[in-house]
Amino acid sequence: MAPAKRPLQESDPNVETRSAKASKTNSKKQVHGGTLESDDKSDNQETSDKGEENEHGEATHDVRESYTTPNDPRIPIDELPPHEYILILRPGSDAFAEARSKTKQPGSDEWDKYCELQDKANEGVPALEPVSEMPEHKWSMMRGAWIQFSDALKEAGYRNPDAFGMHIFTDWEGYGMHELVENFLVRFHKLFLVKEENQCIQDMWCVITGLIYFMKQHHSGFELFGHIDDGDRVCRCLALVGNAFLAMLNSLDRAKQLKGQGSDFKDLAIVMAFYLSLTEEYDDDTFNDATLWNVKIVEYAKKSGIDLAGCGVFGTDDLVSALEENVEDDEKEPWPKEGPDRWDFKKAFQEHQKLFATTGGKLGGKHYDITQMSRSERAGFSFDGKDPLKEFSDKDIKSGVLVVDPK
């Protein structure tokens, strides 16, 4: 079944990790329990290394507010090498899966266990620093992937009518999540079309990695992805995501980078395991045909000597074991002919675009982005009949510097 909406408490610490929190000089406005902030920092604005505290007395920071390096907050992270691996904290979805398996009662017991696991896993980790700062820490990703993941989280907030004190239609936010997934797929498709094979393979990996980290979030509104009123679209989108990932694995295989030891892609097994676990979240009969690509992931791992079960993503060993029978059956069937587009990604993308394109015949875009509406449109959908962004300039609204904090 599609994942149920989870409490905000199950947030990923990577969403709350950054070095400097904007000070009170930032423009802020409370809107129906959410916070709209400007993350545009002028030279005379102050920064502080002290964050806010949540209801548990823990320091929280919002990476969506700006991207800076912990050791030198003057250097925006998107101006640093995009393919360098940086440290991240243990993803919240992974820790919560373990916490849930080790507690008898849902609720507070799970949360206490989650906090315990996260404290242990993330102690002393200099998040966003190069992996050389703590090479023994297993959680890392390319800097470019982290930026795309973080940008998607910020964009998700722009598609949440509740945070703006608005109601448009019931599935607005869910369709907004589809739009964001499509934006990832559009970027991947563009890179995939580059004629010189392997020229963009690292950029492709950044897109694929950022996408799965975003799809594994259940506190950003993404859980609504599977609950829109168009079940066929959900299935087709999941199938296309899987097709894109198989296309990525094929590209890595052709570049001699799909291997258990010595690959330049340090998080290869972890990302494969996360895509595998995504299919478990859509495990009922409704989505069966849309997630058959999970078997191919296991086959690629076996073929390449990649230890999915031992990569450290919680529950992967059980997933691999559960798929073994399907893998054995599938291995009897020949794979498509070798080639750059072995899994027909280009065809699958074009078919999806033909069915679900919006503005200009293209997938994705900003149709569900509330900040891109006119002031009169926002006012027309707001509960009080006023534009919820009336205190912000048109320049700030359109430039993407606003942060929607659902807390």
344 in the same domain as 376 = no
22 part of a folded domain: no
Q: Give the dihedral of Cα atoms 381, 387, 392, 395; nearest 10 deg.
A: 60
296 in the same domain as 376 = no
242 in the same domain as 345 = yes
196 part of a folded domain: yes
- For residues 58 and 168, give the distance between their C-alpha atoms in angstroms, rounded to a whole number: 35
Q: Among all chains, which residue has been given the structure tokens 């675009």? A: 353
Q: Could you tell me where the DSSP H helices lie in 92-171?
A: 92-101, 108-122, 143-158
Contact (CB, 8 A) for 405 and 34: yes
- Single out the residue of 400, 378, 403, 399 nearest to residue 172, CA to CA: 378
Domain housing 267: 69-89+125-361
19 part of a folded domain: no
- For residues 93 and 297, give the distance between their C-alpha atoms in angstroms, rounded to a whole number: 20
Element (H, E) at 405: strand 402-405
221 in the same domain as 319 = yes
- For residues 69 and 78, give the distance between their C-alpha atoms in angstroms, rounded to a whole number: 10
The pLDDT value given to residue 360? 81
Q: What is the DSSP letter of 287?
A: G
341 in the same domain as 271 = yes
Q: Among all chains, which residue has been given the structure tokens 């990832």? A: 184
Contact (CB, 8 A) for 228 and 181: no
The crossing angle, in degrees rounded to 10, of helices 316-331 and 293-304 is 90
- For residues 271 and 245, give the distance between their C-alpha atoms in angstroms, rounded to a whole number: 10
In the chain, the number of structural domains is 2
- Single out the residue of 271, 234, 235, 246 nearest to residue 188, CA to CA: 246
383 in the same domain as 322 = no
The two structure tokens encoding residue 30 = 């409370």
394 part of a folded domain: yes
Report the DSSP beta bridge partners of residue 331: none
Q: Among all chains, which residue has been given the structure tokens 């690509």? A: 293
The pLDDT value given to residue 173? 95
349 in the same domain as 226 = yes
Contact (CB, 8 A) for 316 and 152: no
Q: What is the DSSP letter of 263?
A: -
Q: What is the DSSP letter of 48?
A: E
Element (H, E) at 190: helix 172-192
- For residues 204 and 200, give the distance between their C-alpha atoms in angstroms, rounded to a whole number: 6
The two structure tokens encoding residue 230 = 């168009």
394 in the same domain as 282 = no
381 in the same domain as 290 = no
Rg, the chain, Cα only: 21
113 part of a folded domain: no
392 in the same domain as 317 = no
Measured in degrees and rounded to the nearest 5, phi and psi for residue 21 equal: -95, 135
What are the pLDDT tens digits along the chain (407 aa)? 555 543 333 446 665 543 333 223 334 443 434 445 554 433 333 333 333 333 333 333 333 333 344 445 446 676 789 999 999 999 988 998 899 888 877 777 888 898 999 999 999 999 999 999 999 999 999 999 999 999 999 999 999 999 999 999 999 999 999 999 999 999 999 999 998 878 899 999 999 999 999 999 866 678 899 999 999 999 999 999 999 999 999 999 999 999 999 999 999 999 999 999 999 988 777 788 899 999 999 999 999 999 999 999 999 999 999 998 888 887 778 899 999 999 999 999 999 999 999 878 899 999 999 999 999 999 999 999 999 999 999 998 988 888 887 54
148 part of a folded domain: yes
Measured in degrees and rounded to the nearest 5, phi and psi for residue 367 equal: -60, -35
Provide the 3-class DSSP secondary structure of residue 375.
Answer: helix
Neighbours of 168 (CB within 10 A): 20
394 in the same domain as 345 = no
Q: DSSP for 52-66, please give it.
A: EE-TTS-EE--TTT-
The pLDDT value given to residue 218? 66
pTM of the model: 0.84
314 part of a folded domain: yes
Q: How far is CA 112 from the centre of its chain?
A: 25
102 part of a folded domain: no
Q: DSSP for 320-378, please give it.
A: HHHHHHHHHHHHTSPPPPPSTTTT-HHHHHHHHHHHH--GGG-S-SSTT-GGGS-HHHH
156 in the same domain as 260 = yes
Q: Could you tell me where the DSSP H helices lie in 193-308?
A: 201-215, 231-254, 268-281, 293-304
